[in-house]
């Protein structure tokens, strides 16, 4: 296997993106393409392959050819190539950040600070984590020794959403590759660009052909073909709860391993004794980063009654300072939401909130962009109060720049309110009472709890949700366990 390749990739965005199959950039076999729209301008700027089962079939064949080499070459050789891919992400970080911002609508400053560095870290982390991964042994005194072998699964499918495109795409494929699997991956059809540029980086890094195959296209055609192919033995999916349910219905009867990272409706709880300045500043980020389009955003804010008015006034004052506008401008805090459909969905939710008796304290409407952004999909950060716990606005995932403010009296009451949804992804608590922090963290229905902070991530920790927010855990050795099959070997003395 050569670790070096004479190919130097170009980060230029072509009119038509291509699939990455068997080490090459190829057109979809059916010749069909989908428009790719820049959310900040509302204009089509490229076309992406509308792949189908035939492209998936050729990706699976390539992966099948590559698997024996990639799984047997050893962890060190895999790690070396992956570190070269990580270095490629660093080398092209500016181009990748600009592409992510154009494709998704997020501020370029956010892509430079979060998305692209994290994509690099994902690959780097798993390239090295695999070298530290160990399996167990169980000693039966005077009788036998058991040891657990962990072998790669084979060909696996990785399907990711549009909100953190390269960040979540690499979060899945990195552990899959590090563990020795060959991958068929599909980025969201809404934000395919950085995955396309990533395929060029993989070629430049000398990733052996067929090890990673990237098939672009729509969920029901390209995505479904990956899930239902008999040779993809595990599916790692991040996206909406409804799609996750559909995927589980297809994959479970085929006895595939499944990791599902789904939607959320996360509580953000502020107790009377919290550090107010930190609670306000962190809650603004937890509400509106990436236009509120992060599965971990805290969209239900609960404030203890003594602090309610003070928090509300300071929160609104901080929100009023956020600049909505062209994602290319460095001082923009809130860019465009990802698509016209999503723009309409979020605005519709704001109307539902009003019908439900909510008072809009800030925002509540679309924002007209200027110049090149006049047809872009901009929505003001929106803060609503006066809603009931069971209303649609407090129950449904809106996945946009919309939060509700809710008052509570006691710890028991807020725990019941926080747990009163079908979701259980993350929760944020602001308090200076250590015992309370531990108590609430233990009793809240969530896979991830932050205390006095938000989105602080250590890649070694388990990541995922409970209830309708998902099944299984990503991160650290959890992900390496998911992408390997344990086999017990028992040797009698």
What is the length of the chain? 493
Query: Residue 83 CB, nearest distance to ligand NAD (Å)?
Result: 25
Q: Enumerate residues 6+ apart whose C-beta is below 8 A from 172.
A: 158, 160, 185, 236, 238, 474
d(C-alpha 18, C-alpha 423), whole Å: 36
Quick note: the x/- pattern for ligand NAD over 186-205, rule CB under 6 A, is: x-xx----------------
Instruction: Name the residue whose CB lies closest to ligand NAD.
Output: 219
Helices vs. strands in the chain: H and E counts, helices first: 16, 24
Q: Which is nearer to ligand NAD, 152 or 217 (CB)?
A: 217
358 binds ligand NAD (CB under 6 A): no
Candidates 52, 112, 78; CA nearest to 202 is: 78
d(C-alpha 413, C-alpha 304), whole Å: 10
Total interface residues for ligand NAD by CB under 6 A: 31
Candidates 264, 187, 242, 262; CA nearest to 454 is: 264
Q: What are phi and psi of 21, to 5 degrees?
A: -130, 135
479 binds ligand NAD (CB under 6 A): no
Query: Residue 260 CB, nearest distance to ligand NAD (Å)?
Result: 8
d(C-alpha 428, C-alpha 287), whole Å: 11
Residue of 38, 397, 445, 478 that binds ligand NAD (CB under 6 A): 397
Q: For residues 103-162, which are near ligand NAD according to CB under 6 A?
A: 159-162
Q: What are phi and psi of 270, to 5 degrees?
A: -115, 110
220 binds ligand NAD (CB under 6 A): yes
Query: Residue 91 CB, nearest distance to ligand NAD (Å)?
Result: 27
- DSSP of 377-405: -EE--EEEES--TTSHHHHS---SSEEEE
d(C-alpha 176, C-alpha 171), whole Å: 9
68 binds ligand NAD (CB under 6 A): no
Q: Does residue 452 come out as left (phi exceeding 0), alpha (psi in the -120 to 50 range) or beta?
A: left
Quick note: the x/- pattern for ligand NAD over 243-282, rule CB under 6 A, is: x--xx-------------xxxx------------------
Q: How far is CA 382 from CA 11, 158, 279, 403, in A?
A: 36, 34, 18, 6
Q: Which is nearer to ligand NAD, 264 or 358 (CB)?
A: 264
Q: Does residue 130 come out as left (phi exceeding 0), alpha (psi in the -120 to 50 range) or beta?
A: alpha
465 binds ligand NAD (CB under 6 A): yes
- DSSP of 216-267: -S-IIIIIHHHHH-TTEEEEEEES-HHHHHHHHHHHGGGT-EEEEE----EE
Kindly give the interhelix angle for 75-91 and 193-205, rounded to the nearest 10 degrees.
120
Stretch that binds ligand NAD, among 50-58, 76-84, 272-280, 465-473 (CB under 6 A): 465-473
Query: Residue 2 CB, nearest distance to ligand NAD (Å)?
Result: 32
Candidates 64, 65, 51, 42; CA nearest to 20 is: 51
Q: Which is nearer to ligand NAD, 326 or 474 (CB)?
A: 474
Q: How far is CA 163 from CA 169, 188, 226, 378, in A?
A: 11, 9, 21, 15
Query: Residue 459 CB, nearest distance to ligand NAD (Å)?
Result: 14
Which positions are annotated as active-site residues?
A: 261, 295
Q: Which is nearer to ligand NAD, 272 or 396 (CB)?
A: 396
Stretch that binds ligand NAD, among 16-24, 33-41, 172-180, 241-249 (CB under 6 A): 241-249
224 binds ligand NAD (CB under 6 A): yes
Q: Which is nearer to ligand NAD, 257 or 328 (CB)?
A: 257
Q: Which is nearer to ligand NAD, 266 or 404 (CB)?
A: 266
Query: Residue 220 CB, nearest distance to ligand NAD (Å)?
Result: 5
Q: Which is nearer to ligand NAD, 120 or 172 (CB)?
A: 172
Stretch that binds ligand NAD, among 127-135, 192-200, 451-459, 464-472 (CB under 6 A): 464-472
Residue of 238, 291, 333, 428 that binds ligand NAD (CB under 6 A): 238
Q: Enumerate residues 6+ apart whose C-beta is below 8 A from 358.
A: 384, 385, 386, 387, 391, 393, 404
Q: Which is nearer to ligand NAD, 237 or 315 (CB)?
A: 237
298 binds ligand NAD (CB under 6 A): no
Which residues bind to ligand NAD, rule: CB under 6 A?
A: 159-163, 168, 186, 188-189, 219-220, 223-224, 227, 238-240, 243, 246-247, 261-264, 295, 397, 399, 425, 465, 469-470
């Amino acid at each position: 296997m050569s670790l070096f390749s004479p190919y130097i990739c170009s980060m230029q965005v072509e009119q038509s993106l291509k699939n990455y199959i068997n080490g090459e950039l190829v057109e979809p076999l059916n010749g069909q393409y989908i428009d790719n729209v820049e959310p900040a301008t509302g204009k089509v700027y490229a076309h992406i392959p509308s792949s189908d089962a035939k492209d998936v079939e050729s990706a699976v064949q390539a992966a099948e050819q590559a698997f024996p080499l990639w799984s047997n070459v050893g962890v060190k050789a895999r790690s070396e190539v992956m570190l070269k891919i990580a270095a490629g992400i660093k080398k092209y970080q500016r181009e990748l950040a600009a592409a992510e911002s154009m494709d998704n609508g997020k501020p370029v400053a956010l892509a430079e600070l979060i998305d692209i560095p994290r994509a690099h870290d994902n690959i780097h982390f798993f390239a090295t984590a695999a070298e530290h991964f160990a399996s167990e042994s169980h000693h039966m005194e005077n009788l036998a020794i058991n040891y657990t072998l962990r072998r790669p699964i084979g060909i696996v499918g990785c399907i990711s959403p549009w909100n953190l495109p390269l960040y979540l795409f690499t979060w899945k494929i990195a552990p899959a590759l590090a563990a020795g699997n060959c991958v068929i991956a599909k980025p969201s059809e809404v934000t395919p660009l950085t995955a396309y540029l990533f395929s060029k980086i993989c070629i430049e890094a000398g990733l052996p052909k067929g090890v990673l195959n990237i098939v672009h296209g729509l969920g029901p055609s390209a995505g479904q073909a990956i899930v239902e192919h008999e040779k993809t033995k595990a599916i790692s999916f991040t996206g909406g709860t409804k799609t996750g349910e559909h995927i589980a219905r297809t994959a479970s009867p085929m006895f595939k391993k499944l990791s599902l990272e789904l939607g959320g409706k996360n509580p953000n709880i502020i107790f009377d004794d919290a550090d107010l300045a930190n609670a306000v500043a962190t809650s603004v980020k937890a509400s509106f980063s990436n236009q509120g389009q992060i599965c971990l955003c805290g969209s239900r804010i609960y404030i203890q009654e003594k602090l309610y008015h003070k928090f509300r006034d300071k929160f609104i004052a901080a929100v009023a300072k956020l600049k909505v506008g062209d994602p290319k401008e460095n001082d923009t805090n809130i860019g465009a939401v990802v698509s016209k459909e999503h723009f309409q969905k979020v605005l519709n939710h704001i109307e539902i909130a009003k019908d439900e008796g909510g008072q809009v304290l800030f925002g509540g409407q679309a924002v007209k962009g200027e110049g090149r952004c006049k047809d872009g999909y901009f929505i003001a950060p929106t803060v609503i109060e006066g809603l009931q716990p069971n209303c649609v606005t407090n129950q449904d995932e809106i996945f946009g720049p919309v939060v509700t403010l809710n008052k509570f009296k006691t710890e028991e009451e807020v725990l019941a309110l926080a747990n009163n949804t079908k979701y259980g992804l993350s929760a944020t608590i602001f308090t200076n009472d250590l015992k309370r922090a531990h108590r609430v963290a233990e009793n809240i229905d969530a896979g991830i709890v932050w205390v006095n902070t938000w989105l602080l991530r250590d890649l070694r920790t388990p990541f995922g949700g409970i209830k309708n927010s998902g099944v299984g855990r990503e991160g650290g050795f959890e992900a390496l366990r998911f992408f390997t099959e344990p086999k017990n070997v028992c040797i009698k003395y």
